[in-house]
Structure 1
């Protein structure tokens, strides 16, 4: 961690937080207090022994060594419990706490405290959704945005294909966000049009792929309006994802994307106008296409940045691929039914959305741990790949500035996890590699409304996980 400046987050830091940024942090939209507005842009050498930077990397092959490659000795439950006892007594954590720790290879329960209690999980809900996406879609396949000929010579159709991170300019193949570019698509289309002598067109947009409402049913309209989340769509711009409440996201992401594409066509010498929503003709000639990063990277980016709209969009695509509708009830029902069919015990689970932003979702810590275990023990290869894309403590995503206090900094780089944060909720679920070189799975949820808001509780959770990391708890 010498390569990174540590930022202590104490009472003084909480006081000086800007109101807008602090609110975003509470809703788990940005990495943490006093951090950059985006994840790290450079790969980090070997964090947690499963290093994957935020730039595009090829999907891990099915034969890849699973996360239990950390082959240290098994940890003894009594020793683990003694190791974290002080952290669990922290008043910032102890009230309304649910926690469970499993051996990442064997699944042995090493510690549990209210593991079966239904609790508000906030964005750790995304782990359920990610498991379903990983096991019902092709993680190696990109999301395609294309343009085809319309019903007349002067009409063309922009066809949405699920990419909500299109760069309005040229694409950047080294990045997930903005991997595909509308300017590149416009250049292809302009070339095709000019070959047939067309320089003036009306551009319609086809949104028949995985359709559904712009917001989840139970989202607070004020949260959406303020920009804590974008609207849900199957077409969107990399520059218009949720990041700042002073810059709310577009009311209609598809319309904004269409407008940007029309401008890009103009830059290519094509006079274009917006033709509204249409249906692409069957068998229409393709004029151009661009592709996102592989779905594995897109999903990983959504998890790292806790992008509510992107997760909802991907969940809707997974449901659509299996003949399920796009309403909130349809999508959450698809998630639950898929997990049940896979053998997971959903007692205590109630999903109000696919991302954890809505009030009303409950998940017991046990289920989060069992999902993670399915990836660490090598039994579920698709989800094992997803786990390599989770944020690394102290390095990137919503864990960017976590694990940087004196009591927990030792765990930086050895933790991969999904954060969760709402008013009165702080959660963390993921993996940690112990001092004995053993992978442990953990899930911690706190549902107490504390006087310092989420910051004291987050630090207490980090202390708990750091205690696990320090564990020399073998025989």
Structure 2
């Protein structure tokens, strides 16, 4: 660097990054999360009403008004279902009163498939808050090295990286620096990027979980990146070149303690991350979310720490975990087992307003016959069900909220012993049962 560059750099930073630097805590002390208010959300999708935590004029619901009919329907459903297999666990709770209206084997933890994504989503809302965002920063050592620093955002876009590169390049040019080495620091997450229980058949459904990535680890929109963090670094390096900065090499490395901020990007909010994860059943972001919960609790960003942190956060919030066992945080593993009671309890707490931090959970779930993984399902109940789906070769599930004539019912249905090859028919049986519940709820 030419003599006097350090003085020029200070001016460059003011000119190139002052827009973000002043408003965010990370401009002075690099950290993990920021609570900077995000831009206003677009008009919300029509959603089920979520009561405020304060008392309201909700009509009193008689505890036994529908319990007999619903319990009979549950028993008949479990006894007559063929494709669903011999074990079916169910719980149905009235959201307003909290009364359990029907249940069957609800306390046993079973293979849950993707319904388990409700757990890390809820834990993230509790631990981080719905408005929290994740910064991706570009740091400069004052001489010849830039570092792209992730904090757990695997939902970066190519445009995000292009803007970071443009802003960083402006500061470098002002400081008369035209060539740098690039480091990628994804050390916010550590340990294995692949869970022990996942096999080769799971590889199309999840990408390596790292501290930063583009499009959930599919930077080209379709193929999985072997190393999502370095793939993001490659895109960033290419955009630096477009902005007139030569990149002499890209490698993984940690940011220096004395490096200064050159550019920063704030992610979507945790609420939007949760919505993306639940509606599209994104396995990669669900696993990343669990690690974010661990980091927020002062733990390492590993698979093991993520699973433990999710359960600890829920227990701290008062949920009874029972025999819950998380082999992963996305549901790909058949060793991940949760009870219908725990899933229903979390959903009911979110829908009732008893846990106001969880209110975004309901709006984040797929809507029957409208969007997400329920877009083509439950045609007889369009818009009346918000629920997280779950599908493995030998297990299916559905957990969420059903609205019928102004009443809301939280429910969870687990079928952990579907015969291989029968999951499509099992889905039809489950959806027919949901239609029955909608009729009985009126």
TM-score by length of 1: 0.78
Q: 1:85 to 1:252 in 2, by over 3 A?
A: same
Residue 363 of structure 1 corresponds to 338
Residue 89 of structure 2 corresponds to 98
Query: 1:228 touches 1:242 (CA, 8 Å); kept in 2?
Result: no
Q: 1:214 to 1:274 in 2, by over 3 A?
A: farther
Structure 1 position 81 matched with structure 2 position 60? no
RMSD of the alignment, in Å?
Answer: 2.6
The alignment of Structure 1 onto Structure 2 pairs a total of residues equal to 398
Please state how far the C-alpha of 1:119 moved relative to its aligned partner.
1.0
Query: 1:259 touches 1:274 (CA, 8 Å); kept in 2?
Result: no
Residue 460 of structure 1 corresponds to 429
2:403 to 422, 426, 433: 433
Residue 349 of structure 1 corresponds to 324
Residue 280 of structure 1 corresponds to 255
Q: Distance in 1 between matches of 2:325 and 2:69?
A: 34
Please state how far the C-alpha of 1:469 moved relative to its aligned partner.
1.8
1:424 to 383, 394, 399: 394
Where does 1:275-314 land on structure 2 (aligned, <5 Å)? 275-314=250-289
Please state how far the C-alpha of 1:79 moved relative to its aligned partner.
2.8
Residue 321 of structure 1 corresponds to 296
Q: Distance in 2 between matches of 1:281 and 1:320?
A: 20
Residue 107 of structure 1 corresponds to 98
Query: 1:402 touches 1:462 (CA, 8 Å); kept in 2?
Result: yes
Query: 1:229 touches 1:242 (CA, 8 Å); kept in 2?
Result: no
Please state how far the C-alpha of 1:254 moved relative to its aligned partner.
0.5
Please state how far the C-alpha of 1:359 moved relative to its aligned partner.
2.7
Q: Which has the higher contact order (CA 8 A, sep 6+)?
A: 1
Displaced runs of 4 or more, over 3 A: 42-45, 47-50, 63-66, 68-75, 81-88, 239-244
Residue 418 of structure 2 aligns to a residue whose secondary structure is: coil
1:123 to 102, 114, 117: 114
Any idea what the Cα deviations from partners look like across 1:401-439, whole Å, max 9, x if unmatched? Answer: 1113xxxx2x121111111111110100000101x2100
Where does 1:142-221 land on structure 2 (aligned, <5 Å)? 142-150=133-141, 152-168=142-158, 170=159, 181-221=160-200
Residue 339 of structure 1 aligns to a residue whose secondary structure is: helix
Residue 90 of structure 2 aligns to a residue whose secondary structure is: strand
Q: Distance in 2 between matches of 1:353 and 1:213?
A: 12
Query: 1:212 touches 1:325 (CA, 8 Å); kept in 2?
Result: no
Please state how far the C-alpha of 1:194 moved relative to its aligned partner.
1.1
Residue 366 of structure 2 corresponds to 391
Query: 2:162 touches 2:236 (CA, 8 Å); kept in 1?
Result: yes
Contiguous gaps of at least 5 residues in structure 2: 1-41
Please state how far the C-alpha of 1:44 moved relative to its aligned partner.
8.4
Q: 1:472 to 1:167 in 2, by over 3 A?
A: closer
TM-score by length of 2: 0.83
Query: 1:262 touches 1:273 (CA, 8 Å); kept in 2?
Result: no
Q: Which structure has the larger Rg?
A: 2
Structure 1 position 46 matched with structure 2 position 36? no
Q: Distance in 1 between matches of 2:333 and 2:351?
A: 29
Q: 1:69 to 1:371 in 2, by over 3 A?
A: farther
Query: 2:397 touches 2:413 (CA, 8 Å); kept in 1?
Result: yes
2:349 to 374, 381, 390: 374
Residue 12 of structure 1 corresponds to none
